[in-house]
Structure 1
């Protein structure tokens, strides 16, 4: 059963800039310490500790995570599954006239928001929580955002590249081939290739995205060694993972393992 949302904690004592991050799931983050910068050629947005940042799926940013001024960057992050966002729109139709967030948005993390946010985190991270409770807590955060004027767009039908990424996501280290992925969707390899091509994507691009984005997430949210992260992302060698990671994000994974 698909989780309604994911809960992550990003923590680092190292200043780093990440090139062109594509947001794959509607997300809301709470900066606990340090500062997050979202950078574009035209300027950017700054979120110091105590601020909440909201990123809709499909947005692209250069991201700077800066430990200053507290000396450590820490952010809690909730990422909402498309099914949950769709459920929100069905359940709370009164927000249909609120324009969907574009690019990014922000607000202060007041006591009420922090309370709702941490209840959602606790439910999502507890194995004892039922699916119904996890959905309820995650929907509560979406409702608080909506009442503050921040609403994610209704997902509609997922594209084929997104479906492929979601299939690969739980097991990026597996031996994924075009034929294996096509079989999971009960279609021929040529049909899958054609549908992805219509979106300007390929299976290899989707696989590379998932593996490197998983690597970035593990570097930011775990204490695993780079070699272990490389293996979990499907890379046979530390060096190949590091080279691909540097090319994609603009810095070496070892930078986050001082």
Structure 2
């Protein structure tokens, strides 16, 4: 069982990211600003101080809204999927992944778990038990991952590519790692309206988004780390995927409405989003 990964996310401009799809389950605590999420399962608002789950293998539209006086900030905790089914809560399968809570006991458990995750002196079993405590408190509030969809071949491929986005990937190599033939890989991707090249490009963009949100690395370094030697080509691809320049993630908006609060934003309708076969939250990003 892999350990947890905890990151602080910062975003200075209000932005909406469509067709986001994570390969791993995650917990999110909004520190400043607000987060809005919608999926085929419904919609939720996560205000400052709120805690929620981000289910894996679920297409989501995510909007991050900066606070009036500063950036959107959140703590993201990516957790091992094995923990999701180990809460021993009677109603765990019925819990709703599209709800959030500001209940003090849940927030305290999340903060404690985040501290343990960052402390190398804390034994791994203690860290994992701290995550289980968060999941149990969330379940008491009727919040959880519910019954997870089993990973398809495309999901498994996404996870492999996300682990090393800067690699010079070839479909034959990836197929071998997945223990399938290259024709089988291409055929199954095509059945879902995808292709190896399109999926690889999207994974790289999503990993880049996470790096821009959670680090101070220069944009050209981020581009290089996800497989783009040419920063301008990377910027074009990033804007096409997310609708804004890479540098905009870290730049304060010049217009007031870009930093509007969640209350000023138009409400989402509670319907599912059409799957455009793009988007993934990397293992270390919450979009």
TM-score (norm: length of structure 1): 0.85
Map residues 81-160 of structure 1 onto 2, 5 A cutoff.
81-86=80-85, 88=86, 92=88, 94-96=90-92, 99-102=94-97, 104-110=98-104, 112-155=105-148, 157-160=150-153
Against the structure 1 CA distance between its residues 46 and 146, is the aligned structure 2 distance closer, same or farther, given a 3 Å change threshold? closer
Against the structure 1 CA distance between its residues 186 and 35, is the aligned structure 2 distance closer, same or farther, given a 3 Å change threshold? closer
1:196 is paired with a residue whose SS is helix
Contact 2:162 / 2:203 at 8 angstroms: preserved in 1?
yes
Q: CA deviation at 1:44?
A: 6.0
Against the structure 1 CA distance between its residues 205 and 131, is the aligned structure 2 distance closer, same or farther, given a 3 Å change threshold? farther
Distance across 2 between alignment mates of 1:146 and 1:257: 35
1:169 is paired with a residue whose SS is helix
2:94 is paired with a residue whose SS is coil
Q: CA deviation at 1:93?
A: 5.2
Contact 2:21 / 2:59 at 8 angstroms: preserved in 1?
yes
Q: Which residue does 2:237 correspond to in 1?
A: 244
| Count of aligned residue pairs for this structure pair | 250
Contact 1:30 / 1:75 at 8 angstroms: preserved in 2?
yes
Q: 1:190 aligns with which of 183, 193, 207?
A: 183
Q: Which residue does 2:263 correspond to in 1?
A: none
Map residues 1-258 of structure 1 onto 2, 5 A cutoff.
3-38=2-37, 45-86=44-85, 88=86, 92=88, 94-96=90-92, 99-102=94-97, 104-110=98-104, 112-155=105-148, 157-258=150-251
2:145 is paired with a residue whose SS is coil
1:172-205 deviation digits (Å, cap 9, x = unpaired): 1011111111121233212222333344433223
1:39-66 deviation digits (Å, cap 9, x = unpaired): 68xx964333122233322343433322
Contact 1:161 / 1:196 at 8 angstroms: preserved in 2?
yes
**Which of the two has greater strand per residue?**
1
Distance across 1 between alignment mates of 2:90 and 2:171: 43
Q: CA deviation at 1:75?
A: 0.8
Q: CA deviation at 1:151?
A: 2.2
Distance across 1 between alignment mates of 2:131 and 2:147: 16
TM-score (norm: length of structure 2): 0.77
What stretches of structure 1 of length at least 5 have no aligned partner? none
Contact 1:8 / 1:76 at 8 angstroms: preserved in 2?
yes
Query: Which one scores higher on RCO, CA 8 angstroms, separation ≥ 6?
Result: 2
